[in-house]
Amino acid sequence: MIDINVIRENRDLVKENIKKKFQDKKLVLVDEVYEMDIKLRKIKVEVEELRSKVNSLSKEIGSLMRDGKKEDAEKIKEEVNKYKEKIPMLSEEESALEDEIRSRMLLIPNFIAPDCPIGEDDSKNVEIEKIGEPVIPKYEIPYHADIMASFNGIDKEAAGKVAGNGFYYLMGDIARLHSAVLSYARDFMIDKGFTYCIPPYMIRSDAVDGVMSFEEKEAMMYKIENEDLYLIGTSEHSMIAKFKNQILDKNELPITMTSYSPCFRKEVGAQNA
């Protein structure tokens, strides 16, 4: 999430970045946040001023009561009560505005790196380097599921009965090969200096705030009923959230971690992720 100060000081910069990401429908969010922020800051100032008046007048009431000026003290009490009644209403409005601003800020994209090529889709990707030429075999490449089936290593029919389409059982040597490949990949990354991590497979909603919008989260992630917990769609979410609400010393960087986890996603075909 970008810093609110950037919107306060340079809305045009934020809008230009949105245009570079071809998300023009989000341009309106910048002005909405800007106007709401002005209103929020005014409310905060008003609340603080009212609280200051309440404190000041309360002291004055005490002084008047000690001087026997009860009638004057009662008049000021009425004024104080009006302020006290107004403060909760303003505080409620303040809280609502903070929520509205945050929900919009989470939808405004982060800044693109200056050296990042601009393009609306992958057809505009820039090829930086090409090594070798792709090899196309002279024979028909078998479908991977057919190869596994030839070794009696996959059972999609039984999995379909148990869990539905898109799921499978891996059996025998194919299951062993699956584990072996994962072990190889894990050790390869460890040898490269990465720390291997087995993350939590469930995370709270605030762990992915800023990573995806509420709509994206609901469309992709499986929620645990009656709990603020979601099954992870990728181990990245858990690993990044490990550093949530921390300020890291630059001397600790870079932090290199690698992981393997199940990826629970709603989108079609993702059951095999």
DSSP the chain: ---HHHHHH-HHHHHHHHHHTT-GGGHHHHHHHHHHHHHHHHHHHHHHHHHHHHHHHHHHHHHHHHTT-HHHHHHHHHHHHHHHHHHHHHHHHHHHHHHHHHHHHTTSPPPPPTTPPP-SSGGGPPP----S-----SSPPPPHHHHHHHTT-EEHHHHHHHH-TT--EE-HHHHHHHHHHHHHHHHHHHHTTPEEE---SEE-GGGSBTTB-HHHHHHHSPBPTTSS-EE-SSHHHHHHHTTTT----GGGPPP-EEE-------STTGGG-
pLDDT, position 268: 53
Measured distance CA(150)–CA(127) in Å, rounded? 38
C-alpha 44: how far from chain center: 27
Measured distance CA(271)–CA(146) in Å, rounded? 18
pLDDT, position 71: 80
pLDDT, position 30: 95
**CA nearest to 107, candidates 16, 13, 204, 33:** 33
What is the per-residue pLDDT across 97-141, written as a single tens digit (0 to 9) for each?
A: 999 998 899 889 889 988 888 888 888 888 889 999 988 889 998
Measured distance CA(267)–CA(265) in Å, rounded? 6
The answer to whether 142 touches 248, Cβ cutoff 8 Å, is no
The CATH class of the 4-105 domain is mainly alpha
pLDDT, position 220: 83
pLDDT tens for each residue of the chain, 273 residues long: 889 999 999 999 999 999 999 999 999 999 999 999 999 999 999 999 888 888 888 877 787 777 787 787 778 778 888 888 888 999 999 999 999 998 899 889 889 988 888 888 888 888 889 999 988 889 998 999 999 999 999 999 999 999 888 889 999 999 999 999 999 999 999 999 999 999 999 999 888 876 666 667 778 888 999 999 999 988 988 898 899 888 999 999 999 999 999 888 886 544 444
* Token digits of residue 62: 């005490």
What is the per-residue pLDDT across 19-32, written as a single tens digit (0 to 9) for each?
A: 999 999 999 999 99
pLDDT, position 115: 87
Look up the CATH superfamily of 193-273: Bira Bifunctional Protein; Domain 2 (3.30.930.10)
Measured distance CA(219)–CA(206) in Å, rounded? 16
Side chain identity at residue 136, one-letter code: I
4-105 and 193-273 have identical folds:
no
* Token digits of residue 221: 């992630």
**CA nearest to 112, candidates 243, 197, 181, 23:** 23
Beta strands 195-197 and 202-203 are unpaired
Q: Where are the domains of the chain?
A: 4-105, 193-273
154 exposure class (CB count in 10 Å sphere: 0-12, 13-18, 19+): buried
Beta bridge partners of 196: 258
